[in-house]
A and B are shown apart, each in its own frame.
Chain A
């Protein structure tokens, strides 16, 4: 069965601190996609990144970076120099590669609070 675990329910940091959100997944598929979404207080989910299972290269986008390690089934997300606008709930998700790849399995989310 597929499963995504985000062990950190809530994290609180002070502005400019670095913060890492953990994501561990389980799947029997050899190829799959991993995602991170941001849900601000307005409620709409915002896509942040997609990673293919056959591409373990880490990615950096501005203050955001992602560390994908297939050996530990983890896809962690780091925000460098956090800002108040980063306060949101962040979801990690997994999908199959192929016909049903639109079907996402979500973790329970990590609520990040960045205080000024």
Chain B
């Protein structure tokens, strides 16, 4: 089935450790996005990539890093520099043609203690 996979669903880390969140898609979409969601908040854009080997910072990129070596994959690393990393992280894809909607993965809930 076509879709977006984010793994794991729940992730626990100790403060000071870097952690990488996985996002894989088989929709053949060019653009991919990472959002952060905090309780009672909307989605805030962390990074996005419109093409392989290229990516741009979103509104809250500090403390995060990404790579886009393959069209199918857009991993997000939460570094120790991110002051409040505990949140729900959503990956999305977008295709220029068609319904112009973003497709979302199931999300990863990261807890850092």
Contacts and interface: CB of A to CB of B under 8 A. Distances in A.
A104 B45 CA distance: 8
Contacts of B102: 45, 47, 102, 104
A16 interface: no
A44 B31 contact: no
A109 B42 CA distance: 6
Given A102-B94, A103-B48, A106-B43, A47 B100 contact: no
Contacts of B31: 102
A101 B88 CA distance: 24
Main secondary structure of the interface of B (DSSP, over half): strand
A82 to B, nearest CB: 22
A50 B100 contact: yes
A42 B106 contact: yes
Interface of B: 31, 33, 40-45, 48, 50, 88, 90, 92, 94, 96, 99-107, 109
Given A50-B100, A104-B102, 7 more contacts: A4-B42, A33-B100, A43-B106, A101-B96, A102-B33, A102-B102, A103-B33
12 contacts: A35-B101, A43-B90, A44-B90, A50-B101, A91-B42, A102-B50, A102-B94, A103-B45, A103-B48, A104-B45, A108-B40, A109-B41
Per CB-CB distance, the 4 closest pairs between chain A and chain B, nearest first, are: A102-B94, A106-B42, A45-B104, A43-B107
